Amino acid sequence: DGGITQSPKYLFRKEGQNVTLSCEQNLNHDAMYWYRQDPGQGLRLIYYSQIVNDFQKGDIAEGYSVSREKKESFPLTVTSAQKNPTAFYLCASSIVQSAEQYFGPGTRLTVT
Amino acid sequence: KQEVTQIPAALSVPEGENLVLNCSFTDSAIYNLQWFRQDPGKGLTSLLLIQSSQREQTSGRLNASLDKSSGRSTLYIAASQPGDSATYLCAVRPEGGSEKLVFGKGTKLTVNP
């Protein structure tokens, strides 16, 4: 079955700790994306990557970091510098940058 | 700056009704428009993608139209079912090879049995 997996589904962390969210796809897509979703707001782009070993900041990259060492994987690290990290995080991918995007099931991060 | 608006924010209909969800965008210079469905606590499921050169796309009971010049898209759902209850999001990709989708806040649809 082809698709996008995100783990874990729920994540709890103490304030001041870094945390890494996993995103894996077996769709052979070149482009991958991280979005953040907050209640009452549209999805906002954090980072995106068009190709291995390359990535660009989105609208709200501050306090986040990513890596793209493999085509299939695009992990997101939420650092202690992120002021309000509690949110629902969604990973997506597409064949190329301009194509239809497919989303994973999401990770709900709660920081207390 | 591109902005996407979806009205109404919530809609409740009886089962079997045909319905239309609206999406408007401020800048007509778009590459494509995508409709998604989101169930509570879940990721987004892509429903339809309309390229800027297309007027509509159909999938089963769903039909999406695009009027680029007026900055509008509609998602038509025929013979609605309780299983259609979800939040429906539209997103546009601006022209120029932009990397990002600009999302609306969604319309929460409830179909009552």
Q: What is the mean pLDDT of residues B36-63?
A: 95
> With an 8 Å Cβ cutoff, are B46 and A102 in contact?
yes
Comparing CB atoms, the residue among A42, A48, A101 nearest residue B104 is A42
Strand order in the sheet with A19-25: A4-7, A19-25, A76-78, A64-66
pLDDT digits (tens, 9 = 90+) for B6-24: 999 999 999 999 999 999 9
- How large a percentage of chain A has pLDDT more than 90? 84
Mean pLDDT taken over chain A: 93
Q: Which residues of A touch B32 (CB under 8 A)?
A: 98
The answer to whether residue A5 scores a pLDDT higher than 90 is yes
